[in-house]
């Protein structure tokens, strides 16, 4: 293959954020969610650069300056957005012979569930404003969200059938068609499909980054529910069986690391929220881990610290984020080395 989708643990130039604002779904929760974004920005900026898209950049700059963030590591761009889920409308960057290529896939809000007209244009606007320097940008003409795929950096992708085969995303492609497209676009020579697994309250049709994550070419961390009375138990047990059956490129079983199952979190109206420790973010020298103010937080931080002993583990309270059905990884998109000017 002449291109490769790097693993998240590979060197990065920075992280993209789309800032919450009063014309987004956060309008009634800005006071709670903006401090989460400030904490994420502060944590990322200690290790690498930030690219921030916001309809109004002045107030964001003031917030970051007040938090003591080194503004020399922050690039702010005035870009209109519907929402904040940069993982899914930001660029998916592949490494090609000529250098990094920004793939600007279509975003239709997880199968036409919400408005996405502005979010679908964010990558293009950022590119025109010079956010990515001279990096080539390609529009594949397919719907694909960054949260729906996990890469081991060596041609293997992990994904879920319920998301990638959703009829409201790419109805013209069957499983073989999706595999062929991802082989051509991302250099994927193997797709590992999970047929089971979900989180109540999730809008994404089971994004893989809420369920199972590559931590190395041979290690997968995944969510496991040990409570037989929980609505997730059967589906996640079936997912675990699938993970056990997967093999590495060398034909060996993966080293599987179960993550703690957080105590159930509920929204103001009583519906269950998709809290998951799988939604961590790998950056240069650190792992940002979502926490939810529940007893399992410390155990989750400890498990992830054992997986990544050479990285600093930074907990970020993401309880406000899951009110809109996403978490830490969902609001970030890493830009690999060479992707920023």
Q: Which residues pair with 74 in a beta bridge?
A: 50
Residue with structure tokens 């068609």? 177
* HSE-CB of 166 using CA atoms within 13 angstroms: 23
pLDDT tens-digit readout, 78-133: 999 999 999 999 999 999 999 999 999 999 999 999 999 999 999 999 999 999 99
User: What does the block give as tokens for 36?
Assistant: 């989460």
Mean pLDDT, residues 271-286 taken together:
98
150 CB neighbour count, 10 Å cutoff: 25
Which listed residue (215, 225, 318, 330) is catalytic?
A: 330
pLDDT of amino acid 2: 87
Q: Note the pTM of the prediction, 2 decimals.
A: 0.98
Task: Convert 132-142 to b/e letters by CB count within 10 Å (16 or more is b).
Answer: beebebeebeb
330 is catalytic: yes
**Sequence-ordered list of residues with C-beta below 8 angstroms from that of 7, at least 6 positions apart, any chain:** 151, 152, 153, 154, 214, 217
d(CA 330, CA 314): 17
pLDDT given at position 291: 98
| All structural domains of the chain | 3-336 (3.75.10.10)
Give 198's pLDDT tier (boundaries 50, 70, 90): very high
């Amino acid at each position: 293959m002449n291109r490769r989708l790097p693993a998240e643990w590979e060197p990065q130039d920075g992280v993209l954020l789309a800032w919450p604002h009063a014309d987004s779904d956060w309008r009634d929760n800005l006071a709670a969610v903006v401090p989460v974004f400030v904490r994420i920005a502060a944590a990322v900026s200690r290790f690498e650069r930030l690219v921030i898209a916001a309809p109004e950049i002045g107030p964001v700059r003031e917030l970051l300056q007040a938090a003591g963030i080194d503004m020399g590591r922050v690039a702010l761009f005035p870009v209109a957005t519907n929402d904040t889920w940069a993982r899914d409308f930001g660029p998916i960057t592949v490494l090609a012979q000529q250098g990094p290529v920004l793939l600007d896939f279509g975003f239709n809000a997880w199968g036409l569930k919400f408005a996405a007209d502005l979010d679908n244009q964010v990558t293009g606007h950022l590119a025109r404003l010079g956010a990515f320097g001279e990096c080539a940008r390609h529009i594949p003409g397919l719907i694909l969200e960054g949260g729906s795929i996990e890469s081991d950096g060596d041609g293997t992708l992990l994904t879920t059938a319920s998301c990638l085969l959703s009829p409201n995303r790419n109805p013209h492609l069957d499983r073989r068609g999706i595999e062929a497209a991802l082989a051509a676009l991302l250099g994927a020579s193997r797709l590992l499909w999970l047929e089971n697994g979900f989180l109540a309250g999730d809008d994404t049709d089971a994004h893989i980054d809420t369920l199972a994550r590559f931590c190395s070419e041979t290690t997968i961390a995944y969510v496991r529910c040990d409570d037989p009375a929980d609505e997730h138990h059967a589906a996640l047990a079936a997912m675990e069986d699938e993970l056990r059956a997967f093999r590495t490129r060398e034909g060996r079983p993966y080293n599987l690391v179960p993550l703690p199952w957080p105590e159930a979190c509920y929204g103001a109206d009583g519906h269950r929220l998709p809290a998951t420790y799988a939604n961590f973010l790998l950056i240069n020298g650190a792992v940002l881990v979502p926490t939810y103010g529940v007893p399992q937080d410390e155990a989750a931080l400890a498990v992830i610290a054992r997986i990544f002993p050479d990285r600093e583990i930074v907990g970020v309270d993401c309880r406000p984020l899951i009110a809109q059905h996403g978490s830490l990884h969902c609001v970030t998109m890493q830009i690999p080395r060479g992707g920023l000017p």
